[in-house]
Copies of this chain bind each other. A is one copy, B any other.
Amino acid sequence: MTDADQRTIDVETAVREADARIGPYVLTTPVVESVALTAKLGSPVALKCENLQHTGSFKARGALSKTLALTPDERERGIVTASTGNHGAAVAHAACIVGTPALVFVPEAANPSKIATIERLGAQIRVHGADPVDSEAAARRWSEEHGLTYISPYNDIKVIGGQGTLGLELLEQVERLAAVYVAVGGGGLASGVAGVIKALSPSTRVIGCSPSASAVMYHSLQAGQILDLPSEPTMSDGTAGGVEAGSITLGLLQQHLDDFVLVSEADIRAAFLDLIEIEHMLAEGSAAMAYAACRQHASQIDGATVVILCGGNVGVDRLRTILD
């Protein structure tokens, strides 16, 4: 993709079109005060509870945006995707709603609780590859060989537009929004949210965050190109792994993100425990990671701040492991 193509991507329009498609199928998730962050930072911090979205994460927005836009012929043939879990569940859920068969490629290390959710929603599972980016490549090949529509977790403007509806919603829910902390994996959520917020409220700062242990997009932004880097294990499994070569999210994040914070595993775990102990909120690692990023960075922000709790899919086994 050339720079000229990049400039033609209008996130705001994609978000508004997605919003019209998915409106009846998604929840307006609540924004609740963060007791601990507000007390610590001295300015109002709120949590956008997207962990309460259908399928337990924001991924429902992007998957529905793409799937509801399929032609009758595409719908007939079916859809295929790759996911560490939440996007897979969201695609399975969207497939149920539009009545199309779904196949989900998952990496070998995918969270069993998340896989169980995908199967409960009626999609087929295929395990392939160690890194999520390998599962994505396999799913894309499969889609080409079998004539199915590939639903990228992030490298698709309709998916990005869907995720961006969360940003549109936030602007309606919070007055004079000063800053938003958003988790970055492949960058679909951050591209959509930052794209629409910067279009409608340019003074709002959008801060991306990733675990230090797996920060491929962060290093790619530094390098100006998508890098093929290994990842260490991280509690923020929802953002972990590589990024597809040529992903449109790189250019969108270059354009729209104001800042980027990396978070250690110790800080993610501490945030996860505080979310339970003080906020009484069950959020997954990637959401705890954004919470931790806000805590370490937000002294630089003055005014109403929001941390996106992007998902809440933590199984009992995983929870037990984290608490021990």
Contact = CB atoms under 8 A, between A and B. Distances in A.
A216 B281 CA distance: 31
A313 interface: yes
A219 B171 CA distance: 51
Interface residues of A, number: 26
A315 B273 CA distance: 9
A314 interface: yes
B276 A319 contact: yes
Interface stretch (A27-35, A136-144, A152-160, A192-200): A27-35
Given A27-B32, A30-B30, A51 B280 contact: yes
A312 B281 CA distance: 8
A315 B280 CA distance: 8
A312 to B, nearest CB: 4
Copy number of this protein in the oligomer?
2
A323 interface: yes
B51 A316 contact: no
A277 interface: yes
Interface string A2-25: 000000000000000000000000
A141 B86 CA distance: 55
A315 B51 CA distance: 19
A271 interface: no
A319 B282 CA distance: 11
Interface in A280-324: 280-282, 312-316, 319-320, 323-324
B319 A323 contact: yes
A29 to B, nearest CB: 8
A222 interface: no
17 contacts: A27-B30, A29-B30, A30-B30, A30-B49, A33-B54, A49-B52, A51-B280, A56-B280, A273-B316, A276-B315, A276-B319, A277-B316, A280-B282, A280-B312, A319-B319, A319-B323, A323-B323
Given A56-B280, A316-B323, 8 more contacts: A27-B32, A30-B30, A113-B277, A280-B312, A281-B312, A319-B323, A320-B323, A323-B323
Interface of A: 27, 29-30, 32-33, 49, 51-52, 54, 56, 113, 273, 276-277, 280-282, 312-316, 319-320, 323-324
